[in-house]
Amino acid sequence: MRRVPLVLAAVAALAAASRAAAQDSVFGIRGLGFLDRSVSARSVAVGDALAPFDPEAALNPAALAAWRSTSGWAVGSGGNRTFDAGTGTSSLSATRFPVIGFAGVIGPRVVLGVTVSDFLDRNWSVQQTDTVSPRGTPVVASDQTRSLGGVSDVRVAMAYKMSSVTFGVGLHVLTGSTVTTIDRQFPSDSSYAAYRQQQNTSYGGVGLSFGVLATPVAKVLAAASVRFSGRLKATTSDASATVPLPVELHLGTYYQPLTGVVIAATVGHAGWGTAADALQAAGQEGSRDVWNAGFGVEAALLRMGRSLVPLRLGYRWRQLPFPIPSAPGVTSPLSEHAVTGGFGFDTAGGRATVDLGLESGSRAAGGLTERFTTLTVGLVIRP
Amino acid sequence: MSGSRSALAVLGLAAVFGCKEQLTTPGRCPAVCPATNLQLADTLLATADVSDTSVRGYVLVREASYLLTSNLDSLQSVALLRFAPMDSVWYSGTDTAHVGKRDSVQLTLQFLQRDSSVKQLRLVVYRLPAKFDTAATYADIAPYFADSNLVDTIAIEDTAQAGSHTFRIADSLVIAPADSGVVSLGLKLLAAGKTALTLGSGVLTSAPTLSAFVHARAPVDSLSKTFSVLPFVALFVMSPPPAQPPPGLLAIGGIPTARATVRLSLPKVVTDSNAVVRATLLLNTAAPAGGFARDSFYVIAQPVVRDYGIKSILWPDSSVSGKMLIHQGQTGPVEMDLAPILRFWGTTSGDSTPRLIVMRVYPEGSILGAVTLSGRAAGAAGPQLRVTYVKPYVFGVP
């Protein structure tokens, strides 16, 4: 019992550190931002292949049925990125906390859960240097445009277990804000003063998700979920805009050929093309429908004390909805892929589980490439 | 691994992750740069000056921190000192000593500024009527600077620098009973060339000091004491006398000090928020700038908080001001940075204040510098405002 306070302290440290945001990318400068993957460290380690079965993620509400007792969880991730603009590289890093949640078992068939996860990441910062001649004499102008914040997804969901099928339904509330600033400095001429302009934007929206888990044949678990995110309303002090959000569909299979061995795969589709008109009306490039897929293996090959230590490997690929302009009037689609791995172990007498997931991959559009390595740590406590 | 260690390890990981955050990427357009860029605009507001005026008399001669002595053709000036009364009696233990003979008379002066290229400076000390008219003009006081009133001629070494200098000016000092112990002196500058010398007046500077070695009268004539007195009145008179600036010209500085006031009419875009990155008030001198040879001085501009004419209240924050450096003898165009003031007018503190600036020398009343600028009546040579500002940036929604 003495271990429990330490575990709770760890959860508190994770939860208090920051608003949720899975990853950053300079590619988030376009469209609505960088589309996040708010999944557990276990799912990360198997290339998101377990995401439709992931009770920690906000993807499939039916997956909540996996909780056998009241549980709380938090996921933190940190990593480094190298952005290659073709003319040079820059090293970037960030720390985020993509998912926080808890669930309670209400009777033998019903599980309720609340999850706070990241939906859109709008953290980015761009530095540009140019020469301007407002009075005929050239002066160096250094601009930094920076966006901090994003949109979070607060989901209240319920799973209902039947004999071989589990249903789930979730209510999603999208909320968040960004602070965008642009700073200009004239480092070579002190007769020009620095300039700063800032805009605060708040976001809101409501959505619904439905999911199902089923066992069609022995040793096989299938999952499906669909999410209707409605519309995202963005409001500033003097303007507002509404962007239709996509219908998302995810399918997954989970095959357990041997005890302790799991093979999983997933595929998903999101109709982000529905947001294209609204984005173009706002002066942005249009968005596109996107696919994602993942494949992974989990095998409990090691022991640590009396606990099994599952080892995980995977690969994932996905398209991102907001294209990058590679030349005036020309856009390049953005996609990313990663190889993944990790492991997990129980601790605190089985009352806590620690999962670690490591992924290394890249995302590219046109001649631009961003390579990333991300370590994700997940903690589940069952007090 | 125990549960405690596991949890601590997770805490450690969280702490390590929390220590680093680097988001800034070099921009490469059009891919990873904002959809729009900041746009600068530059405009010349040739008629921004809608009215201007200049008034002399803000810091008076008696309030100045210096005493001006000058033999310039353009400005002659002598210093006038009326010292506080010297006591006629003092007490030593149980003895009461009455002042008898005064000898070894010394005058201590603080040199502030001189033109070191002019040599053989001499200060001629004259005895003035003890209660001379403090409102006297140069012409009124000139007759007292006669040989009959000569006390001494102080030779100033060519290497003398700024600071305190003491000179023995007389072997004896006689004070008529009717003067009640008051001694008044006049100081006139002579030199191998035309020049000026400023002395501390006692306002923010050291005052001239008159000292005398005093012997007591019998029966305690063995007693002696040094008496030192500071001036009760310390001023100077000039020829030609100062006058109000002529209409159409903006006089700044001199003594009594003059200030120029300029009322500006600005388009809203210029005073909106913090958009101004550079604002330059373009001015032209109407005459060579005055002051010590080869010296320079600052002219500052401050916004007016409440417009009460010549007694307007100025915004005291030194960061909300414009500044330009003027060199003695300077002619032609000069420029003053007004961007801090224009940005102030775009803040909640300044948006309701009048678009009025006051230009004055700095520090006022402590320097000799003066400059006369062309006013709006001079047309194209009058004040104009050039403003560089950032056009409102459109972040876009969403």
- Set of chain B residues whose Cβ sits within 8 Å of the Cβ of A91: 22
Sign of CA dihedral B362, B365, B367, B368: positive
Mutation target vs A (from B8, B23, B387, B388; most A CBs, 10 A cutoff): B23
The answer to whether residues B164 and B184 belong to one domain is: yes
pLDDT at B21: 57
Closest A-chain CA to B335 = A191
A24 interfaces chain B, CB cutoff of 8 Å: yes
Contact in structure between B209 and B164 (CB atoms under 8 Å): no
Residue B235 lies in a domain: yes
Rounded to a whole number of angstroms, the distance from the CA of B48 to the nearest CA of chain A is: 18
Same domain, B206 and B251: no
Would you call A352 and B8 a contact, using CB atoms and an 8 Å cutoff? no
B319 lies within 8 A of chain A by CB: no
- B325 Cβ under 8 Å from any chain A Cβ: no
| Mean pLDDT, each 10-residue run in order, chain A (383 residues) | 39 35 67 90 97 96 96 94 80 86 95 96 87 92 91 97 95 97 92 93 97 95 97 94 97 95 98 95 90 97 85 97 83 94 92 96 90 96 92
CB atoms A347 and B2 under 8 Å:
yes
How close A190 comes to chain B (CA, Å)?
10
CA distance A90 to B28: 12
Based on the domain organization, do B266 and B378 belong to the same domain?
yes
pLDDT tens digits, B128-163: 999 999 999 999 999 999 999 999 999 999 999 999
Q: What is the pLDDT of residue A23?
A: 43
Q: How far apart are CA B239 and CA B142, in angstroms?
A: 10
pLDDT at residue A27, rounded to an integer:
84
Contact between B23 and A24 using a beta-carbon 8 Å cutoff: yes
Residues B184 and B298 in one domain: no
Q: Domain count for chain B, please give it.
A: 2
Last residue of a domain, one of B192, B218, B239: B239
Domains of chain A: 3-116+159-168+211-228+245-381 (2.40.160.60)
B275 within some domain: yes
- Which residues partner with B155 through β-bridges? B122
Alpha-carbon distances of B179 from B100, B131, B300, rounded to whole Å: 16, 8, 45
Contact between chains at A368 and B32 (C-beta distance less than 8 A) = yes
Residue B15 falls inside a structural domain: no
Q: Is the pTM of this model over 0.80?
A: no
What pLDDT is attached to residue A348?
87
B94 near B220, Cβ under 8 Å?
A: no
Residues B311 and B168 in one domain: no
pLDDT at residue number A8: 38
Specify the 3-state DSSP secondary structure of B243.
coil
H/E stretch holding A7 reads helix A3-17
Test A232 with B275 for CB contact under 8 angstroms.
no
Mean pLDDT by groups of 10 residues along chain B of 398 residues:
51 49 65 78 93 95 94 93 93 87 92 92 96 94 95 94 93 89 96 94 91 88 90 94 91 95 90 84 95 91 94 93 95 95 90 94 91 95 95 84
Token pair belonging to A263: 């093979």
Do B85 and B223 lie in one domain? The reply is yes
My answer on whether B254 and B270 are in the same domain is yes
Longest CA span, chain A: 79
Q: Among all residues of chain A, which has the CA nearest to that of B12?
A: A10
Say which of B24, B392, B397 has its CB closest to residue A201: B397
Residues 272-331 on A with a CB inside 8 Å of B are: 279, 282-284, 304, 324-328
Q: Which of A121, A145, A233, A382 to mutate to test the interface with B (most CBs of B within 10 A)?
A: A145
Domain boundary among B191, B208, B239: B239
Structural domain contains residue B169: yes
User: B313: which 2 tokens?
Assistant: 């209240």
For residue B43, what are its two tokens? Answer: 């405009």
* B223, part of any domain: yes
Same domain membership, residue B249 and residue B235: no
Note whether B171 and B103 are within 8 A (CB).
yes
Cβ <8 Å between B40 and A132: yes
Domain harbouring B335, CATH code? 2.60.120
Q: Taking CB atoms and an 8 Å limit, are B34 and A29 in contact across chains? A: yes
Please report residues of A whose CB lies closer than 8 A to that of B281.
Answer: none
Q: Which residues of A touch B27 (CB under 8 A)?
A: 126-128, 143, 145
Find chain B residues with C-beta within 8 A of A235's C-beta: 397
Judge if B84 and B220 occupy the same domain.
yes
Is B197 a domain residue? yes
CA B360/CA B367 separation, integer angstroms: 11
| A16: contact with B, CB 8 A cutoff | no
Residue B220's pLDDT is what? 77
Alpha-carbon distance A172 to nearest alpha carbon in chain B (angstroms):
20
With beta carbons under 8 A apart, name residues in chain B contacting A3: 2-4, 7
Q: Of B354, B350, B343, whose CA–CA distance to B389 is shortest? A: B343
> Which among B6, B32, B42 has CB closest to A26?
B32
Q: pLDDT digits over B184-242, tens only?
A: 999 999 999 999 999 999 988 889 999 999 999 888 778 889 999 999 999 999 999 88
The whole-number pLDDT of residue B273 equals 60
From residue A46, give the alpha-carbon distance in Å to each of A25, A79, A380, B13, B223: 22, 18, 18, 21, 108
pLDDT at residue A20 in the model: 30
Cross-chain residue pair A304–B26, CB shorter than 8 Å: no
A258 at interface of B, judged by CB pairs closer than 8 A: no
Q: What is the per-residue pLDDT for A58?
A: 94
Note whether A77 contacts B: Cβ–Cβ < 8 A. yes
**Interface ipTM:** 0.75
- Do residue B226 and residue B94 come from a single domain? yes
Cβ distance of A197 and B392 shorter than 8 Å:
yes
Count of other CB atoms within 10 angstroms of residue B177? 7
B339 CB within 8 Å of a chain A CB? yes
CB contact (8 A) between residue A126 and residue B34: yes
Give domain status of residue B363, yes or no: yes
Q: Are residues B146 and B273 in the same domain?
A: no
- Given an 8 Å threshold on Cβ–Cβ distance, is B398 in contact with A243? yes
Taking an 8 Å cut-off on Cβ atoms, the answer to whether B24 and A128 are in contact is: no
Q: Which of B239, B269, B303 is where one domain is finished?
A: B239
Structural domain boundaries, residue B254: 40-59+245-390
Residue A376, pLDDT score: 96
- What is the torsional sign of CA B279, B284, B285, B286? negative
Give chain B positions within 8 Å (CB) of A128: 26-27, 29, 33, 37
Looking at the structure, do residues B349 and B329 belong to the same domain, yes or no?
yes
Interface size between A and B, measured as CB pairs under 8 A: 211
Assess if residue B34 is contained within a domain.
no
What are the chain B neighbours of A192 within 8 Å (beta carbons)?
Answer: 277-278, 388
Distances (CA, A) of A164 to A52, A256, B11: 17, 16, 39
